[in-house]
């Protein structure tokens, strides 16, 4: 007879600092790991797996420093390692000794739950493998550690031989394991298999059961939720899904599903509204590009592009948004493109605090203009600053702050082959002409330097503007060097950043368009700031 289970609060176990670092391109220093651990604890994660002290000096240092430098409240640090390789070596196993030396309250060890690994990997019989698990867990438990046993390859092992897999779980429990974690180590299981096997364990044992899913089949989130639905109350994963091969389950996706969709309580109160900022923090520390399309936390998760969608969202956001983005610290975005309708234009105008006035035809005219420009290669969904200038110009509220009368670029090479670029600019500001020459490490950089230099006498606020990103996209590569290119430029003044776009068959011209928009945008916002300051207003002037 199946026991009636009481839903336990979900215990969240993060292995970004251990399993996550096994992902390709992921490399964390000790300081990096300490910084991430502090943010995870602040967010509300219960257990933070810091690394494998028996495998490398860096993790040994992490555990030493974490005791003094991490001021944790509800969170605990866990050390990770494996069982001994033989029943005869448990007492002398160096890995187990290092786990104890780490002096963490919690220790996670993994053991083989698939006969294939036990027989061919370790050369052990079922009884010998069970004894290794029992004695390894017992040694750690008797030393006063809370032991979490990761049943490695559990689901593959259960699928091949339920008897063998259950025998290993039983051995870990008898050894004193506090929590049994069922691992889909190869990441190839399906949700119904996860559900059935997990339910077997939760029905059979009173011990807390957890799930550790990898994403090789693209089902790590589905498998994790299936396990929880079947009785698991301990969830392991990494932020942003980093990890070996296709990665681990992403906690950034699992956590809001557990709380907002399955209405499950967590062991500690989470600062769910900080979820987006936490995922971005981890990306930054790892020097990785954020996944814009990541569920819940991605930049595009609540972005709307099609005119019909935008029209509906303006009436009721639930029509095309499955949650309120603010719950996870995200925000609704409307993109402007050739798919835009009048609703997109109206939404963006409101977002930018631009009043369109009583002219009902203006949104339609702007939408048509955008469709035409995007057909030529422009892309405004990634260049809000250029879009705002275009909209204000159409309304008669913006006139460029300078006029370029002449520009020339010269590229030369010395005898050693070193390249140098210089740009000559002649501009007019309020009837005055300024003639400037500036050097740069390339033609675009030379143009940017010359433009800033020539305008600083009139607009000193431009001295802080820097180009922070520069992207070139060839739009019709079949034309070779005659192809049209799109240039996207991101600029910053140290406090705010904005993006502009230019398109031409001449890459210098496309860059020049984007550069001029960038400087005009800064000047526009600076003038607004001056006016607002004079009027004692506080407004958010950057988009």
Quote the tokens at residue 203.
């029905």
State the average pLDDT over residues 444-469: 89
Most confident of 371-375, 486-490, 531-535: 486-490
The pLDDT of residue 543:
32
CATH 3.20.20.70-classified regions of the chain: 11-286
Q: Are strands 403-413 and 419-429 parallel, antiparallel or unpaired?
A: antiparallel
pLDDT confidence bin for 332, thresholds 50/70/90: confident
Report the Cα–Cα distance between both ends of the chain, in Å, rounded: 61
Give the chain's mean pLDDT: 88
State the average pLDDT over residues 461-484: 81
pLDDT confidence bin for 383, thresholds 50/70/90: confident
How far apart, in whole angstroms, are the C-alpha atoms of residue 465 and residue 26?
32
Site of tokens 């989470």: 270
State the average pLDDT over residues 25-54: 94
Q: What proportion of the chain, given as a percentage, has pLDDT over 70?
A: 90
CATH 3.30.160.340-classified regions of the chain: 465-543
Quote the tokens at residue 260.
């907002």
How far apart, in whole angstroms, are the C-alpha atoms of residue 448 and residue 393?
23
- Pick the closest to residue 82 from 17, 182, 151 (CA basis): 151
Structure-model confidence comparison of residues 311 and 535, the more confident one: 311
Residues with Cβ within 8 Å of residue 434, at least 6 apart in sequence: 425, 426, 427, 428, 454, 455, 457, 458
Structure-model confidence comparison of residues 3 and 287, the more confident one: 287
Secondary structure class of 405 (helix, strand, coil): strand
The pLDDT of residue 126:
96
Quote the tokens at residue 461.
């606020």
| The length of the chain, given as a count of residues | 543
Tens digit of each residue's pLDDT (9 = 90 or more) over 477-527: 666 667 888 898 999 998 888 989 999 988 889 999 999 999 999 999 887
Look at residue 539 and tell me whether its pLDDT is greater than 50: no
State the average pLDDT over residues 11-18: 98
Give me the phi and psi of 377, to 5 degrees please.
125, -5
Q: Which range has the worst mean pLDDT, 134-143, 161-170, 453-462?
A: 453-462
**CATH number for the segment(s) 465-543:** 3.30.160.340
Please state the CATH superfamily assignment of the domain spanning residues 11-286 in this structure: Aldolase class I (3.20.20.70)
How far apart, in whole angstroms, are the C-alpha atoms of residue 310 and residue 342?
9
322-351 burial, b at 16+ Cβ within 10 Å, e below that, comes to ebebeebbbebbbbbbbbbbbbbbbbbbee
Q: CA-CA distances (angstroms) from residue 283 to 39, 137, 286, 507?
A: 13, 35, 5, 31
């Amino acid at each position: 007879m199946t026991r009636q289970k009481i839903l336990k609060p979900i215990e969240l176990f993060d292995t970004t600092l251990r399993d996550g670092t096994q992902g390709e391109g992921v490399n964390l220093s000790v300081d990096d790991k300490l910084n991430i651990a502090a943010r995870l604890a602040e967010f509300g994660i219960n257990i933070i797996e810091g690394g494998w002290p028996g495998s490398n000096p860096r993790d040994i240092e992490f555990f030493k420093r974490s005791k003094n430098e991490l001021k944790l409240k509800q969170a605990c640090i866990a050390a990770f390692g494996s069982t001994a390789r033989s029943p005869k070596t448990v007492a002398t196993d160096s890995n187990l000794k290092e786990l104890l030396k780490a002096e963490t309250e919690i220790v996670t060890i993994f053991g083989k739950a698939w006969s294939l690994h036990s027989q061919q990997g370790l050369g052990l019989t079922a009884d010998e493998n069970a004894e290794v698990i029992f004695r390894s867990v017992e040694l750690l438990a008797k030393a006063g550690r809370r032991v979490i046993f990761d049943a490695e390859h559990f689901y593959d092992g259960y699928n091949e031989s339920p008897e063998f897999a259950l025998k290993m779980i039983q051995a870990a429990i008898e050894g004193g394991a506090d929590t049994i974690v069922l691992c889909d180590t190869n990441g190839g299981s399906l949700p119904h298999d996860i559900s059935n096997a997990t339910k077997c364990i939760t029905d059979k044992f009173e011990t807390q059961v957890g799930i550790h899913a990898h994403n090789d089949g693209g089902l790590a989130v589905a498998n994790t939720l299936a396990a929880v639905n079947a009785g698991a109350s301990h969830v392991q994963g990494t932020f942003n899904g980093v990890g070996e091969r296709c990665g681990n389950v992403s906690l950034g996706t699992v956590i809001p599903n557990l709380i907002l969709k399955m209405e499950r309580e967590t062991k500690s109160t989470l600062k769910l509204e900080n979820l987006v900022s936490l995922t971005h923090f981890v990306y930054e520390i790892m020097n990785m590009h954020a996944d814009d399309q990541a569920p819940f936390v991605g930049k595009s998760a609540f972005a709307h592009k099609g005119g019909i969608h935008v029209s509906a969202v303006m009436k009721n956001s639930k029509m095309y948004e499955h949650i309120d983005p603010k719950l996870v610290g995200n925000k609704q975005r409307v993109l402007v493109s050739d798919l835009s309708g009048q609703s997109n234009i109206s939404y963006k105008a409101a977002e930018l605090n631009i009043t369109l006035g009583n002219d009902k035809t203006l949104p339609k005219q702007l939408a048509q203009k955008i469709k035409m420009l995007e057909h030529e290669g422009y892309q405004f969904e990634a260049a809000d600053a250029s879009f705002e200038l275009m909209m204000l110009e159409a309304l008669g509220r913006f006139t460029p702050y300078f006029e370029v009368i002449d520009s020339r670029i010269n590229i030369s090479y010395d005898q050693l082959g070193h390249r140098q670029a210089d740009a000559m600019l002649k501009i007019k500001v309020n009837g005055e002409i300024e003639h400037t020459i500036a050097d740069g490490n390339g033609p675009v950089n030379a143009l940017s330097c010359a433009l800033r230099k020539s305008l600083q006498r009139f607009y000193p606020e431009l001295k802080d503007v820097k180009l922070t990103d520069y992207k070139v996209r060839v739009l019709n590569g079949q034309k070779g060097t005659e192809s049209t290119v799109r240039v996207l430029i991101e600029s910053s003044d140290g406090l705010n950043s904005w993006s502009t776009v230019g398109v031409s068959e001449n890459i210098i011209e496309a860059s020049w368009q984007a550069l001029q928009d960038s400087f005009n945008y800064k000047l526009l916002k600076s003038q607004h700031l001056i006016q607002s300051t004079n009027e004692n207003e506080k407004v958010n002037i950057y988009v």
